Structure 1
Amino acid sequence: MNIVTLLPFIVLIGAMFLMTRSAKKKQQAAAQMRNEMQPGTGIRTIGGMYATVKEVHDDAVLLEVAPGVHAVYAKNAIGAVLADDEYNRIVHGTEADLNEDEDTPVVPDDASSLTETDEPAASDDSRIDLGKKDAAAEADDAQPKKTDGESDAK
């Protein structure tokens, strides 16, 4: 056999070897990250949920999703272990570096940070309730009115 005919096969086998090697390195790095989790660490699951680690077991992790709300997840479901400042920035909306010399805290834009005594901002939008009766009347109003000279056929 000629070496020129074997060259494509050699290149293909080499490429497959390199791809599997890099995938194994990524898997090992992810496993090491999951094994180094400790209680109090902020994490992101593979589904995109942010939580705090409460307990670490062999194959499972107890996560605190919200204050007083706990869930058990498999270790393989942990997508990333986050640094404390990154976790606080994402979950609580705090910017540690930008806000150190200011006295006012960073407040998130959503209403999830409101307490029981806080009132939502007043808005110009009034509540619209479209029941079946209202929706049918609105649909009739949207159709153009026919005049005596117009016909249905076009």
Structure 2
Amino acid sequence: MNLVTLLPFIVLIGAMFLMTRSAKKKQQAAAQMRDHMTPGTGVRTIGGMYATVKEIGDDTVTLEVAPGVHAIYAKNAIGAVLEDAEYNRIVHGAGDDLTIDTPVVPDDASSLTLDKDADKPEDEAPKLDLGKKDEPKADEPKDDEPKDGKADGEAGTK
């Protein structure tokens, strides 16, 4: 056979070997990281939840996700084991010297708009036209209903 025909297969096998090797290295690094977990360590799950390790089993780990709330996770679900300083900074905001230069947005939007008619009583303030017709009262027939209350083509006695 010609070397030119074998060359793509050799390159493909070499690429597969390198990808498998790097994947194995990542798995080993993740397993080694999980081995450094001890009760009281802060972790981040692969889903992005931060928690504190309470107990470690063979394949599972018990996490405290909130004070007094424990959940059992697979060890493979641990995405990162965090240092105490980093965990406290993320979860508790400890050590953050954040100053906010922008104004705080209020919970309601009433203070964001200027209401020129705020001093007028409610019945005198102009109404916003939303394109809806006023609903007829219960005793009044609707515009699209016949006055006798029968639908078109409905037979009735006279």
Same topology, TM > 0.5: yes
Matches within 5 A, 1:4-153: 4-95=4-95, 125=109, 141-143=129-131
Calculate the TM-score normalised by the size of structure 1.
0.64
> Structure 2 CA distance, aligned partners of 1:81 and 1:124?
40
Query: What is the identity percentage for the equivalent residue pairs of Structure 1 and Structure 2?
Result: 77
Tell me which protein shows more helix as a share of its residues: 1
Please state how far the C-alpha of 1:141 moved relative to its aligned partner: 3.0
SS of 1:141's equivalent in the other structure is coil
In structure 2, list runs of 5 or more residues that go unmatched: 100-104, 111-127, 134-158
Calculate the TM-score normalised by the size of structure 2.
0.62
In structure 1, list runs of 5 or more residues that go unmatched: 100-105, 108-120, 127-139, 146-154
Please state how far the C-alpha of 1:15 moved relative to its aligned partner: 0.5
**Superposition CA RMSD, Å:** 2.6
Q: What is the number of residues matched between the two proteins?
A: 111
> Structure 2 CA distance, aligned partners of 1:12 and 1:123?
59
